[in-house]
């Protein structure tokens, strides 16, 4: 794509400060690695998102939509195309008694705090997941026996032509790390979260307990994308990795966490290539020792260095 031509067209859709050219992706993903995106944009309204999708679709411009970047890995060569970021720039709330309507860029941690502040219970499980609502809806994020499908009343989704439709919980096809968003090319705009009235102190106590469990069991002090692999049927990825003698194993600056073997971490100035190399080594070793094929939960995108 012609970056200058695309940039000039984008200026007709967005204010200039919302458009970043050759933007280093290590600033935008939780692994803190990745080469530059050709252009990254931060729309703040549905109309801007609609116009971006219409433009990219009509002109066949490669693009991705990301939230907080807590479940993706951009390769060292960066991303050739447009990155549409929906994070704190698209994160408004609207409370209607025990239902919260939230834009897709809102962080789950912020939603949890807002719910607690309104004495609403049911979202505590998600309050420590380091991602946005949009990403959580796409992957039906879950933790501590809770999943998004348990609290979502409905979701507003936009197609590639800018049309918006509201989908019920059932319509969303929620499954393990799966939803309608993983099957079809749609963008989450907002969702209604159905909660229950509760006691502030009990909600806070539960959130504090879950936060403490995460701090003691997960390597939160290092950049990562959370659990690197999906849970294989009948097994736990972390145990398979540990039983393969890979706990603490390093590949360049990437390492299998010594605190939790299910986490690959950026231990010491890792490159995206280091992380990908370690992921592939883990998958091969686990298959050779246990006959189980691990599938990464993190999405790997972009170009190798030599393709720039």
Active site positions, annotated: 177, 227, 297
CA distances from 70 to 73, 175, 188 (A): 9, 20, 16
Q: Rounded to whole angstroms, how far apart are CA atoms 59 and 46?
A: 20
Q: Rounded to whole angstroms, how far apart are CA atoms 168 and 153?
A: 6
| In contact, 133 and 108? CB cutoff 8 Å | yes
Q: Rounded to whole angstroms, how far apart are CA atoms 249 and 257?
A: 8
Closest CA relative to residue 15, chosen from 59, 68, 51, 54:
51
Closest CA relative to residue 41, chosen from 83, 8, 79, 69:
83
Closest CA relative to residue 198, chosen from 113, 117, 123, 121:
121
Q: Rounded to whole angstroms, how far apart are CA atoms 170 and 66?
A: 24
Strands 36-41 and 79-85: parallel
Closest CA relative to residue 241, chosen from 204, 187, 278:
278
Strands (E), 62-209: 63-66, 72-74, 79-85, 93-96, 99-103, 120-121, 142-143, 146-147, 152-158, 164-168, 187-194, 196-197
Closest CA relative to residue 272, chosen from 220, 218, 225, 221:
225
């Amino acid at each position: 794509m012609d970056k200058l031509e695309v940039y000039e067209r984008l200026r007709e859709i967005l204010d200039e400060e919302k458009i970043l050219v050759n933007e280093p992706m290590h600033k935008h993903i939780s692994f803190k690695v990745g080469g530059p995106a050709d252009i990254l944009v931060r729309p703040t309204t549905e109309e801007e998102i609609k116009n971006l999708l219409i433009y990219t679709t009509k002109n066949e411009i490669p693009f991705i939509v990301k939230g907080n970047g807590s479940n993706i890995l951009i390769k060292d060569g960066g991303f050739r195309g447009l990155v549409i970021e929906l994070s704190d720039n698209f994160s408004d709330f609207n409370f209607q008694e025990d239902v919260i309507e939230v834009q897709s860029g809102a962080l789950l941690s912020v939603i949890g705090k807002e719910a607690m502040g309104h004495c609403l219970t049911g979202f505590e499980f998600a309050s420590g997941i380091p991602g946005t609502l949009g990403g959580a809806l796409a992957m039906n994020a879950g933790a501590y026996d809770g999943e998004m499908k348990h609290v979502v009343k409905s979701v507003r989704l936009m197609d590639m032509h800018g049309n918006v439709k509201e989908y019920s919980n059932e319509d969303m096809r929620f499954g393990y790390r799966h939803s309608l968003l993983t099957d079809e090319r749609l963008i989450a705009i907002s969702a209604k979260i159905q909660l229950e009235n509760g006691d502030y102190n009990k909600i806070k106590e539960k959130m504090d307990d879950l936060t403490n469990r995460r701090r003691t069991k997960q390597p939160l002090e290092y950049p990562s994308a959370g659990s690197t692999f999906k849970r294989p049927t009948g097994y736990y990825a972390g145990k398979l990795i540990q039983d393969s003698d890979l706990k603490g194993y390093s590949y360049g600056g990437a390492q299998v966490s010594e605190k939790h073997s299910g986490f690959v971490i950026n231990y010491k100035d890792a490159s995206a290539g280091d992380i990908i190399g370690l992921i592939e080594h883990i998958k091969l070793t686990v298959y050779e020792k246990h006959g189980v094929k691990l599938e990464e939960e993190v999405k790997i995108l972009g170009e190798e260095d030599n393709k720039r």
